[in-house]
Structure 1
Amino acid sequence: MTDDRKKPFTWMVPEPNGGAKKPPEEISLKANKISILSPKTTAKEISPTQGLLALEIEKDTDIDGIGMGVLSDGTPYLNQRGLAALCGVQNAHIGTISAQWNDSEEKPRIQAIKAIVNKAGYTASAAHVEIVHNGRLHYCYPAEISLAVLEYYAFDAGTNCQPEARENFRLLAGSKLRELIYRQVGYDPTHSNRFDKWHERIGLNYQSAPKGFFHVFNEAHTVVYELIMAGADIGERNVVDISIGQHWSKHWADHDLETVYGARDKYPHCYPDSHPQSKSNPQESWCYPLAALGPYREWLQDVYIEGGKFSAYLKGKVSKGELAPSVAQLAIAALIPAQLGAPQG
């Protein structure tokens, strides 16, 4: 018989407090594997269908058969095959943990794992979260749940304790598993770079319009800021100023505003190299007389934001899978004030 087990691979293990990294150490992958759908995770209070309602997989990767990623709420996860491999057990054993999580008479294994989870200050009504990603259903095991299962197979499983689990737990205990997943998928949990792509565009275009004119791009900052703060990835796929510009241009033409404020003009707008739109730089865009700036800002708030056009734009992005529903809800709540006299909940 052939040995279908993968050779060990290495990850850099971070030193505490951001110090220099240790030399690579092996993560053991000696578990037997059987075919089962690969999975993924959540955070805080977990329910099996939570991912289907709100969460999405923001970033994911696969390293030698170990799937991992980060959900749209920032939760790092391991998939079922990856968790099973690190524990030195078959995939089916991890699936059984999920299946038995809420049995009325808890098995000793479930009691032990839940005790580890609770000791860490974490509660979970399910062992995984289900999320549809790229047309497939994924079972997501949060880092905290994964670490508890790993600890169980390292020390508390009796005759079923696995040497691979013990070694991997030594490498990944505490916050190391979370940090490892973030690093492998290229995710910044501090979101220190979330404004980078927007700032790149500002740097290229903030002085582009001729004197006496304004352009929609420079007037979209409030909308873009609230989207970023809500968790949207503002970049090549989410360019809300295009939507605003198209609607304002139509409003300008439909109401013959040129006769009121003077003729509009064109200016060269450029996209950063990180955007595919940059291939056609520079692109001609409309700019408008400064005399129309006040009316434009009133239109932006009253017609575009509160009149339903902004909500329609976000709904379209959600339907295409380019924006999480929760992000859309947060952005709308921030930009559309509550109506006076609305019934109180």
Structure 2
Amino acid sequence: MQIAKQQNLNLFSITEKVIDGLPIGVLSDGTPYASIRGLAKLCGVDHAVIVRLIKNWDEEQLKPRGQKILELLRAQNYFNKNLYINASNGHRDFLAIPDAVCMALLEYYAIDADLPNKEIARTNYRILAISSFKIYVYTKCNYDPNRKVDGSWQAFHERLLLNDNIPINYFSIFKELSTVIVNMIRGGCKIDDTTVPDISVGQIWARYWTQNKFDEKYGARCKFPHVYPDTFRQSSGGEYEAWIYPADALGVFRKWLYEVYLMDKFPKYLNTKVTSGAIIAPDANKLLDVLQKPALTTSDISK
């Protein structure tokens, strides 16, 4: 029987800015992007119009509007099946609209679309046609395309790709910590073979699991191969085995991660990284502020 695999995000926003109300950024592979709402604002249309277009692209490209946009995409040397990239910004997953798609749609709404008021799209198209969307985003986000991707991003990305095959009915500590690790990198913490937070979390969670006899409640955990990149010293030991846990316990883990680990254990872990020089104390404090977010209450939802 073939084991179902999780489909995971491999690209992350390494820098993101909001310029004049327009969320833009750069993905970990160097692709400049805008959000759906940002692109809609550029084009002077409601964001629902862009949502329908990109999510129903298989059908839309067969219509007159879609055929024209398809021509513009090809002129931008864009031949991907989708008009978006699945990505994460450390807090949530989102759809990133790459620069080529942004320019093709902006050109369509500035020149070809039958809209009563094209001035917004026309103005933005003139601005970006001169400097190019890519250069505009790079400049606004202070991103140097000639600079190598930060080693921490590279190390995390490599590890993520090497361990992207967890069975869908289980979860792994490393993959569940993706948001924490992304925020650590953004907070200035160097991630390498000396900073592996999932080991700390995994050891404490394993004890908590055993003490509470969760095998009896949620099903047995099991060992699954975990591989380190060649740049990690741990890779010399070959393939490791790490615990993975039944998906039914995922909610319990996330609650424990917030209430126990991030609130009590993580500050102590960060303190060791401050001592080792992996992160400076002010950045560590900022990181704690980001990760120790208040829980959502029933009254918050009803507002």
* TM-score between the two structures when normalised by the length of structure 2: 0.49
Task: Name the larger-Rg structure.
Answer: 1
Q: Which has the higher helix share?
A: 2
